[in-house]
Amino acid sequence: MTAWVGTVERTRAGIWLFFVSEVFLFGALLGMRFNLWGNTRPDLDQRLGLLVTAILLASSFFMYLAESAVAHGRRVVFLLSTLVTASLGIAFLVGVVGFEWSGHLQPTDGVYGSVFFAMTGLHALHVASGVLFIAYIGIKGLRGRYTSAEHFGVEACAIYWHFIDVVWVFLYPALYLMGTAVQA
């Protein structure tokens, strides 16, 4: 058991080091946005931006519920919460990739298009990988892999999912709210 605990602690440290590198990556994207757009922004669908943000924040609540449920041995709540979290993650992707990307702004629309698609595309990639991670722990949960004593995979997934949400909390205002709206 001692070897397992040491492995979990090293893995947990590795996860946090990974997040530090992600902060630099998304920080660079935010720096690019403010450098290239200045005090302007493309005229995006404000209602859609708010809706996908609400969906992603709601998914974070259900991910917390899943993690808490597995820690307390409530398997059914865990499984249902992971299903809801993954579904909300997919809804977020449909909103951003399916609807926002098919709007009037295109990747070829100069700095507005390239910055918008770089920022939302990289974030969407992280959300998609998070949905796959959630599906993975959901399948493992169906097979009875997690107990209230051993559920580090769920904890790691929850940390990743919450990180993705926090990143969007910074991207959303930078993309949709800050600056004067201009036609790209």
Calpha distance 23→151 (Å, rounded): 26
User: Given this model, what pLDDT does residue 7 score?
Assistant: 78
Six-digit token pair at 90? Answer: 């997919």
2-47: pLDDT as tens digits: 455 567 778 888 888 999 999 999 999 999 999 999 999 999 999 9
Backbone angles phi and psi of 40, in degrees to 5: -130, 170
Please give the Cα distance from 63 to 81 (Å, whole number): 6
Using alpha carbons, select from 168, 139, 147, 141 the residue that is nearest to residue 57. 168
Give 1 or 81, the one with higher predicted confidence: 81
Q: Which domain holds residue 170?
A: 2-179
The model's pLDDT over 83-95, given as tens digits with 9 standing for 90+, comes to 999 999 999 999 9
Do the domain assignments include residue 101? yes
DSSP at 183: -
Q: Where is 182: in which H helix or E strand?
A: strand 180-182
Full DSSP string of 84-144: HHHHHHHHHHIIIIIIITTSS--TTSHHHHHHHHHHHHHHHHHHHHHHHHHHHHHHHHHTT
Q: How high is the mean pLDDT of the chain?
A: 94
pLDDT of residue 3: 53
CB 96 within 8 A of CB 50: no
Question: Does residue 152 belong to any structural domain of this protein?
Answer: yes
Could you tell me if 183 and 149 are in contact, meaning their C-beta atoms sit under 8 angstroms apart?
no
Domain count, the chain: 1
CATH code of the domain in which 49 resides: 1.20.120.80
- In a domain? residue 184: no
Distance CA 60, CA 107 (A): 29
Q: What is the pLDDT of residue 5?
A: 53
Burial 34-50 (b: 16+ CB within 10 A, else e): eeebeeebbebbeeebe
